[in-house]
Structure 1
């Protein structure tokens, strides 16, 4: 069971509470992978460092790939740095994987003869599993979804469901939330700079 694949399916099937940014989703997917690696005891957290524990036996190719990217030499890698490194373009990677495995197709019509339009989720066991976790209000899945705006956004002081009590998981969810907020701040700064540049050219 891959939390990242379930999160991607939820992202494709649910109406977001705010415009869904692909970069935000990529960071959350990296966080979902880290959560599964924590749960499988493939990694641990010492402070804010990802510490390898054992090589996981994963039947999920992308999760195995994530595990292979964990730095295995001291002083190890900061969780935030790993999220940014692993998260680069990860939403596109998961979308392609779901499409390849037959879980997602693309709506086509005479004006869109090739890949394009909106994605359509197939009625698959994987989709039903993701829907079950979502309907069950699984706290980690909900917290990751909230971080990217798929449901009501959590506050900075409370990025996770209060039923989450594991310190490592709480640290992970807070790191995802902080990374998404940092990315949003970067987008806002760029928008301000672009607007200022445009004003200069208009003579404003």
Structure 2
């Protein structure tokens, strides 16, 4: 399995507590894809620019799609630009792909027998491998999970990552998630102010 798919499994298993926001998870998934592409030598970083390498054969369709979408002409894309472009709607794309592969099942509630229900991980080797990776505090998955808001308790003991390029991507994911949260807060303030204006008019 890939790092993005492992991250989705971890997020879904944690969803019974406090599920991560789709936007945060999508940004983290885009970072996970870039890290897997770095490891496959499909890309390298020139400071913060994503420079395509050779085009490997990639079995996972979404990760292959990510490799195909790389900007291959100068000026290359920055890591930050990659996260925002590639991350758009990425969590939903992974949920759909995992369900199509039989890795997710629809959980029906007893009182709603005909409702489609929420998607939960099936008991598969892929899910168990992801859970083992998470339980072992594997550094990359842990940092991505913290950034996505899957487990805030791990933040204080977030592990360091030796690979400079991977560390650059992880730092960019954290920055992007913080930026997204700032946008949410601004919108909430603007919406509240707008509501107050209409209350005054009424």
Whether 1:173 and 2:174 are equivalent positions in the alignment is no
3-state SS of paired residue (1:71): coil
Aligned length: 199
Partners of 2:113 and 2:71 in 1: CA distance? 43
Q: Distance in 2 between matches of 1:23 and 1:112?
A: 30
Structure 1 residues 87 and 128, CA gap change in structure 2 (3 angstroms): same
In the other structure, the counterpart of 1:6 is: 6
Mapped partners of 1:80, 1:154: distance in 2? 22
List runs of 5+ in structure 1 lacking aligned partners: none
- 1:136 paired residue number: 136
Judging by fraction of residues, say which structure has more helix.
Answer: 2
Alignment partner, residue 94 of structure 2: 94
Question: For the residues of structure 2 that align with 1:19 and 1:98, how far apart are their CA atoms?
Answer: 18
Q: Deviations over 1:3-57 (max 9, x none)?
A: 0000000000025875521000000000000000001110000011000011021
Structure 1 stretch displaced more, 190-199 or 144-153? 144-153
Secondary structure of the 1:150 match is: coil
Tell me which residue corresponds to 1:113: 114
After superposition, what is the alpha-carbon deviation per residue over 1:94-142, rounded to whole angstroms, capped at 9, x for unaligned?
Answer: 00111111111111245251423x3322111111111121122110000
Which blocks of at least 5 consecutive residues in structure 2 are unaligned?
A: none
Contact 1:104 1:122 in 2 (8 A): yes
The alignment's TM-score, normalised by the length of structure 2, stands at 0.92
Q: Distance in 1 between matches of 2:133 and 2:19?
A: 23
Structure 2 residue 51 is the aligned partner of structure 1 residue 51 = yes
Structure 1 vs Structure 2 CA RMSD: 1.8
Q: Secondary structure at the match of 1:137?
A: coil
